[in-house]
Amino acid sequence: MVSITGSIENYRALLHEFQLRDKIKSAEHHYSIGFDFEGVFDDFLAELLFEKIVSLSKEIEFDSFKLGVSWPLEMAEEEKKKLKTSIQTALILKIKDSLKKRDDFSAPHADFLIDFNKKLVLVRIKSVFVSGRYCKFSREIAQTEYFCNKCRGKGCWYCKGMGHFCEESVEQFIAKIFVPAFGAALLILHGAGREDMDVLMLGNGRPFVAELLMPKKRGADLKLLKEEFNIQFKGKASINSLKICSIDDVSPLKDSPHNKIYAALVSADKDIDLNSLPIEEKLLVFQFTPTRVEKRRANLERAKEVTIIHARSITKRTFVLELLTSHGTYVKEFISGDGGKTKPSISSLTGAHCICTLLDVLEVCS
């Protein structure tokens, strides 16, 4: 049997992980097995093809399937129609009866193709999706692998040959537990937004969907995976509320707006009177694209809503804010003002130059 990834470890010697992700996601099929074909369509051929499908089936778990056929290029349409009944339909029925699988032409777990031109039986495996929430307790851990934007993960002078800018990420942690459990090749983490690497994700966590590519297993003990993760990465990250979901859950997760509650430690360049802040009043805030991200984001003005829930002094020039913000608010810039690109800001409201020294996400609101 041949795999598009061959040996994953051998492939990684040639392809960095970013390229490998693209290769797997864009591949028409994942595994293949050859068969002999001399141009004769008979019962022996049908039995041979079924044996090849069984061989591929032993490598993967699936409940539903689809079976397509790429007939010889020179074959007439009338002959194809006849063979669809004697070969294709017969094989579908045999897979259903003998392997106890369900045919599903819309969203199958396994998509088989018999290619008479290449003399291959191929299969593409549908990804497994697991939803949950994660918390992040370190300011040196990213949400996902932060690939270098110059070499796209290959390794260059800019990233000092690393291919990325952080050594650890929540995505990598989840992959270490989930990939072997599902017999997958790779994992991609889809999050409901993201926090900066130096921002903690607390409370009940940020919603995510983990996509497992080329899974040989479609199920795992999620309770056990959660416990294993939380023990292994204690003090760095935790996960909760795991459940199997589908690809249909990814877009709503990524596209739906989520308000957030933050805690921010703020420092000012002079003494502050917190009574100048409008506590529990909804502020309409206008933000031009922040200076720190303007190279990779369109320079637009965005209208956001921010409510200062609570303000507490620590010293005359240091205080803690609790903020409720609308989706996509740049909180650090709401505090500093970003040189006037965010209005109003904590700096403009207090008349002092303020900076956010520490920031935590307390809640991602549903």
201 falls in which pLDDT band (50, 70, 90)? very high
Q: What is the CATH number of the domain that holds 285?
A: 3.30.70.3190
145 shares its domain with 229? yes
219 shares its domain with 329? no
287 shares its domain with 318? yes
Domain's final residue, options 90, 125, 160: 125
**pLDDT tens-digit map of 241-253:** 999 999 999 999 9
> What is the model's pLDDT at position 141?
95
153 shares its domain with 111? no
98 shares its domain with 148? no
251 shares its domain with 266? no
> What is the model's pLDDT at position 26?
76
**Catalytic entry in 43, 103, 196, 221:** 196
pLDDT at 13 over 50: no
Q: Which residues lie across from 324 on neighbouring strands? A: 261, 307
Q: What is the CATH number of the domain that holds 208?
A: 3.30.70.2510
> What is the model's pLDDT at position 14?
39
**pLDDT tens-digit map of 172-182:** 999 999 999 99
> What is the model's pLDDT at position 59?
84
Domain's final residue, options 234, 255, 276: 255
User: 233: which 2 tokens?
Assistant: 């990465």
234 shares its domain with 318? no
pLDDT at 320 over 60: yes
The percent of residues in the chain predicted with pLDDT above 90, rounded, is 75
Number of domains in the chain: 3
Using DSSP's 3-state secondary structure scheme, residue 215 falls into coil
pTM of the model: 0.88
**pLDDT tens-digit map of 208-226:** 999 999 999 999 999 999 9
> What is the model's pLDDT at position 160?
66
> What is the model's pLDDT at position 15?
45
pLDDT at 198 over 60: yes
- Mean pLDDT, range 9-31, rounded to an integer: 65
293 falls in which pLDDT band (50, 70, 90)? confident
pLDDT at 267 over 60: yes
243 shares its domain with 321? no
Positions of E strands within the chain: 2-3, 31-34, 64-70, 102-103, 110-115, 120-125, 128-136, 186-191, 199-213, 237-245, 260-268, 282-288, 301-315, 318-325, 342-343, 354-364
- The pLDDT mean for the chain works out to 90
> What is the model's pLDDT at position 152?
61
> Is residue 72 reached through a cis peptide bond, with omega within 30 degrees of 0 on the bond before it?
no
353 shares its domain with 334? yes
8 falls in which pLDDT band (50, 70, 90)? very low
- The residue ranking higher by pLDDT, 74 or 309, is 309
**pLDDT tens-digit map of 36-94:** 988 888 889 999 999 999 999 998 999 999 999 999 988 898 888 888 888 999 999 99
240 shares its domain with 275? no
User: 182: which 2 tokens?
Assistant: 């599902």
- Compute the distance between CA of residue 258 and CA of residue 133 in angstroms, rounded to an integer: 14
**pLDDT tens-digit map of 146-163:** 666 666 666 776 666 666
Domain's final residue, options 66, 99, 125: 125
Active site residue 338: no
- Compute the distance between CA of residue 54 and CA of residue 95 in angstroms, rounded to an integer: 8
9 falls in which pLDDT band (50, 70, 90)? very low
294 shares its domain with 325? yes
243 shares its domain with 286? no
What is the domain extent for residue 175?
A: 128-255
> What is the model's pLDDT at position 11?
42
The DSSP symbol for 169 reads B
